[in-house]
Structure formats: C-alpha cells, structure tokens
Structure 1
C-alpha cells in the first residue's frame, strides 16, 4: 500500500470478484472517494445516501479520526506496532504510511476476512517492505488471529500494540467477545483505536432502510446506541483524553471538523486497565 499505488485498480474480470452484487468494503471505499468499486457498489452507496445523506461525511470523519489517532499513538504514546483489524480496502493514507512518517521502523499487520481486500492490499503493498503484512482472518476469531504465524513474526507480544478497530464492529453481531479477548490478551500499555457507528439521533425507519442496503451487500449492519457502545468497555478500559465521543471532536485539527452532523461514529483511544496477575 505504498503511496504512489494507493489507488491501484483491480480489473472487474479478476476471478475473485463478483461485480454484479454490491460489496460492503467497496461501498465504504466509494464513500471515502476511492475508485475501487463497480456499478453495483455505487448504486448501493447512492441508495444508502438517499436514506442517510450524512453517511458520506460520517465515513470520512471516521477515516480522518483513524489517521489522527495513529499519529497520536506513535508521537504521544511511543507505540510503533499496529494490528489493523477489519482494515478494508487501501485508502490514500494507510495506517503504515501515517505511522512510518512518525517512526520509520513502525510495523503494521492488516487483517480482513474479505478475500477482495487481500487482493487489493497485495496489489498495492510494497512487497519489499518487511515492516508491513496482510493476514486474511475473521476478526471475530481474535484468539486465532493472535496466534497467526504471520502476525507473530512481525508483531512483538512483549511490547505494547495498537489495535485499530474502526468501522468494523458495525458488521459484527456479538462484539463483546472481541473486546473481552483483547482486554485479556493485549500486552500491558497497549491501546485500541476504536470507532463505531452510533444510532443516537436516528429513527427506527432510517436504521431499517440502512440495514436493507447492506443486507443486499451480504453484510449485516448493527448500529448501536451510545449507551450500548459504552457498555462494551465499562469498567475495564481507560479512555485517553478526550474520552469516547463523536470522532469529529476527537483532537480535531480545525474548527470545521468539530461541526456537528445528524449522526456518525463514536470513537476514541482506550487501553485495558491493569489486569490482575
């Protein structure tokens, strides 16, 4: 995912692709302004925007938050190894590019269970960069992921790790198991960069229509209330300042970013409280 090839295009004739049906990763990529999508994805994304016209801004906000949070964890917390879970399609500025601007030795493992994502990632990844790798794995199987040989060969389990978990639990029906396993297994002083779509401010009809768009893309959409999102972390996680809140207001770099939209992502940077030995 080197910068010159950030938009490497995959042919619609590639045997791994089904271009007749929309794909959640490609819908997300379209909303971010990327070019790796097809007519079915664009139609689905436009249908989503008819129901939720704020969604494009929300997705972009989530991505900008991730970029700021990655910079923060390297520059302020001194952590330089990352596991990006449910990474999605390569963007213009990827986690390894942002991290390596602050620390050239930073290491990143991208994780996604979508074979399409692996195809795109490997097509754009600098094959000579031993600091970056891609693992095809289901993020719901955290134990299996943490035992993966490729991940273990690049990520040191005796040092703090940053886990990126943004815009992925929206497609997981039982996220508590993921959060619980990370709390148990992450090395001391590790952090999670988290963001999830929040249902606060939306009515049931809007949510149902959004879900129908993603159902046609073979993805279940689980939009949770702010209370439900906070409950996932209650008691065992410590949020870095300014805490869990709208991603637009998390250490914004301009006043424009702080302007409100109807709905969006809640996010922040959090670390497991010290676990009993």
Structure 2
C-alpha cells in the first residue's frame, strides 16, 4: 500500500503484494513490511515460493501459445507485478518478460503493462523505455470501464487482444472479479484471449484459510477459489470457448512445451479462453 502525503510525494505505508512476491521469488525490490508478511506466509505455506515460480513460468508459456497458435499480436498484462528482468537473484530460471516472449513470434508486438502499485509502474516504465510498441499504465483494474477508455488500451480494439490475468482475481471479491471478466469478454474483439492463473482452496483448505487471514491482518483481501468457482468466473459461453487442456493445475498447463511437472502439490489452476473469430 502507499499514500500520497503531498503533491508529488508518495510514502510506503505497508506491505505490497508485488513486493512480497518479489521477495518470495528471490528478488531485491522489497522492504521490511514486505519481508515480515512474507515470513508469516511461509510459516503456514513453505511451498509458497515454488507456487510463485510456477505461476511465473505459466505467464511466458501462455504468451507464447497465444502469440504462436492463436496469432495474437497485442497483449495487456493486468496486474503485471514487478518485471522479471528486475527481480535480481531469482530462485530458479528467470521467465522472459511478456514483450520478449511475444517478440520471438511477432516482429512488432504491442504490450501494455497495468498495475495499481506505483512502484511497479515506475519499474515497468523504466524497463520499457527501450521497447517500441509498449506502454505502462498505473490504474485500478477494478475500474475496468475507465481502464478500457485509456488511450493505450482503446487503440488496441481494432485487432485481437490477449488479456493476461496472472494471479490477479484472488485479490478481488466475487463482485469485482465477475464484473471485470464479464466486461473484458463483452469488449474484446473476435480472436481475443483471456489467460488466467488462480489459487485454489480445494487441496489444503486450512492452510489457505490461514494465508487469507494473514493477508487480511495486513489489510489485503485474498480469496482462493474452488475449481467450480473459477469456471464460473471464466464462464466461456459462445462466442467464447475454453481451450485445451481446460482448467488444469498450473504446473500441468502446457506440458508439451516444457518437461512434465508433477502437479500433485500445485495450489493453483491455469486456463485460456478464446473468442471465436480468429486473429486478423
């Protein structure tokens, strides 16, 4: 969290989800409040860093699939978090940023990074200065109508768009999550895609409830969901369809593109839905 005490001055007032994840992922962009909360999470979920890493790997796999197999050239990374290129001593291999993955497939992809954390926004703008066709927006994604009206988003509507909601929906209540997904489905042109990861409370409900309680004590809403609840959020009714392999543990999504990983300990699901019509 942050607050603005006077024009142009921002002060850190508590832990940030992006910085907590940066700490869990072996990065260097975090502060004492972030580390304290991260250690409290690790007390009940020592496997949390592994899940963060698995979800990070999924983002790159989903971008490659959407760019290569669906032909999409425009990507909006909602709740992008701190860019992988700036995470310092990461635990395990570093996934490539969205732009770099898309650039392997298309000569001139367009990528917009969106986050409500001003520190994330500053990092993203710094990293993106050298890339043409990219932009960074500081915005509350729950204000979805305002976001879609932003010039850097509105200009994308003439062609299919890939919306990346990587570990984003659990931080919202049901009303906000349904509103954002529904609006994106209705607004997106044919050929567009929505890719998500979402933590689940089905496998170890007690630990997940304890995690949610510790986030809540830090002033952060956190809501793991069941497979049925995640499917209800996506609600891939025509003209949208759920692409193979469906809603599966994140560590098992895209196994044909990487070594097979045992998903028995996975605590999140991944999926991609696509709007019929094909890329232009």
Give matches, 1:214-225, under 5 Å.
Answer: 214-225=215-226
Structure-2 residue corresponding to 1:258: 261
Aligned-residue offset at 1:235:
4.9
In the alignment, structure 1 segments of 5+ residues that lack a partner are 1-13
Indicate how the Cα distance of structure 1 residues 104 and 235 shifts in structure 2: closer, same or farther if over 3 A, else same.
Answer: closer
Aligned-residue offset at 1:73:
0.9
Q: Which runs of 4+ in 1 moved over 4 A?
A: none
Q: In 2, distance between residues paired with 1:102 and 1:235?
A: 27
Whether the 8 Å CA contact 2:20–2:30 is kept in 1: the answer is yes
**Secondary structure of the corresponding residue to residue 10 of structure 2:** coil
Task: Please give the per-residue CA displacement for 1:5-25, whole angstroms capped at 9, x wherever unaligned.
Answer: xxxxxxxxx95351x632111
Whether the 8 Å CA contact 2:70–2:191 is kept in 1: the answer is no
Number of matched pairs = 255
Q: In 2, distance between residues paired with 1:107 and 1:52?
A: 37
Q: In 2, distance between residues paired with 1:109 and 1:254?
A: 26
Structure-1 residue corresponding to 2:183: 181
Give matches, 1:1-277, under 5 Å.
Answer: 16-18=10-12, 21-92=14-85, 93-125=96-128, 127-153=129-155, 155=156, 157-173=157-173, 174=175, 175-204=177-206, 206-236=207-237, 237-252=240-255, 253-255=257-259, 257-272=260-275
Aligned-residue offset at 1:233:
2.3
Q: In 1, distance between residues paired with 2:33 and 2:264?
A: 27
Computed over aligned residues only, the root mean square deviation of the Cα atoms, in angstroms, reads: 2.0
Q: In 2, distance between residues paired with 1:91 and 1:56?
A: 15
In the alignment, structure 2 segments of 5+ residues that lack a partner are 1-7, 86-95
Q: In 2, distance between residues paired with 1:128 and 1:201?
A: 43
Whether the 8 Å CA contact 1:202–1:263 is kept in 2: the answer is no
Whether the 8 Å CA contact 2:116–2:141 is kept in 1: the answer is yes
Aligned-residue offset at 1:63:
0.9
**Secondary structure of the corresponding residue to residue 143 of structure 1:** helix
TM-score by length of 2: 0.84
Whether the 8 Å CA contact 2:250–2:266 is kept in 1: the answer is no
